Amino acid sequence: MFDSQEHSVAAPLTDTFGRRVSYLRLSVTDRCDLRCTYCMAEQMTFLPKKELLSLEELEQIADAFIRRGVTKIRITGGEPLVRRDIGDLFDRLGRRLGNGLEELTLTTNATLLTLHAARLYTAGVRRVNISLDTLNPETFKAVTRRGDLAQTLAGITAAKAAGLKVKINTVALKNQNVHEIPEMISWAHDQGFDITLIEVMPLGLTGEDRYDQYIPLLEIRDRLEQQWTLTEESARFADAGPSRYVRVAQTGGRLGFITPLTNNFCAGCNRVRVTCTGRIYMCLGQDDHVDLRAALREASNPEMALDAALSRALLGKPEKHAFGIRARAESPALPRHMSVTGG
């Protein structure tokens, strides 16, 4: 399907605010083997598998974005590694590295990394983001509703052994893990990992009240500065995205803060998300979308149809989202779960 000799970049994907999109988060499934309390309901209704894009269609969509100047693709879910034959997709997309694509990566809960880490590295993946909210086995089971911390830690060990650079993502939960955050940071830095703290995002009904989960990261940073010296990084890293990084003097490691509620970071947004059914969402916090699956399956010339659909989608990319958690029992900003949107 892909010929590196024929690869060329068409008009870059640029929105009406002059922001160039160079980063695609591509979901391969809405399913997950965990049920984290801030992300999913305990009893989820997943999409029929026949509605999901095939691996070939996911590859076609990735190609369309690469032609339009996207240089980084992150595979997401749900949990991407539960998708059958997912290794084949990484193999295929890995062949684009050096031919328009500069980085191929994924976000995972690590439960299946012992099975996949070596193959991911062989395919060209060099970094993984791993979701981990606690180092306490009982808290882990409570947050994930079913997970085994030992399995996740084994996956992290496998990733490190395979040569993958690991970044830990930790959602700050007011009544469950805030007291553990210094320990999490120390552990991650001792392992040689960056770690990023993330505010709870109000997407989808989960059976929990996010008002009781949410804590502003400014408050956590104030607490950390009472025991550690945090120094702002002198320059933004190319891979930082919405994270704002500091260096922790006492550990020597990097600590990131993602603050969708307390400090909107949309001015520099360079990404879009495509769901496992082919919907492109131009903003995590908005519901406007364009159907790329229709362009693939109904058009006589799918390549041209995808290009036209991408151009149309960028016209609708908003200036910013409007997340907020202001009151107990407040409805989520959107009924769509994060697992449906794609990480």
DSSP H stretches of helix in the chain: 55-67, 86-94, 113-123, 137-144, 149-162, 181-191, 210-213, 217-225, 292-298, 302-315, 338-341
Residue 160 makes CB contacts below 8 A (sequence gap 6+) with: 166, 191, 192
What are the structure tokens assigned to 200, written together?
Answer: 């709870």
Does the structure show a pLDDT above 50 at 144? yes
pLDDT at 327: 45
Does residue 201 have a known ligand-binding role?
A: yes
- 276 is annotated as contributing to ligand binding: no
Tell which wins on pLDDT, 236 or 247: 247
The verdict on whether residue 25 carries a ligand-binding annotation is yes
Query: In the predicted model, what is the mean pLDDT of residues 195-215?
Result: 73
DSSP-assigned beta bridge partners for residue 230: 248
Closest CA to 167 of 107, 217, 117, 257: 107
User: Judging by beta carbons within 10 Å of its beta carbon (0-12, 13-18, 19+), is residue 16 exposed, middle or buried?
Assistant: exposed
Averaged pLDDT, 253-271: 77
- The span from the CA of 72 to the CA of 190, in Å, is 28
More confident residue, 159 or 320: 159
272 is in an annotated binding site: yes
283 is in an annotated binding site: yes
Query: Measured between alpha carbons, how far is 233 from 208 in angstroms, rounded to an integer?
Result: 35
- Residue showing tokens 């702002």: 232
Q: Which helix (H) or strand (E) holds 297?
A: helix 292-298
Give me the domains of the chain, ranges plus CATH numbers: 15-341 (3.20.20.70)
Residue 125 marked ligand-binding: no
Q: How confident is the model at residue 283 (pLDDT cuts 50, 70, 90)?
A: confident
Give residue for tokens 């970094």.
Answer: 127
pLDDT tens digits along 53-96: 999 999 999 999 999 999 999 999 999 999 999 999 999 999 99
Separation CA 285–CA 204 (nearest Å): 11
Find out whether 167 is annotated in a ligand binding site: yes
pTM for the model stands at: 0.88
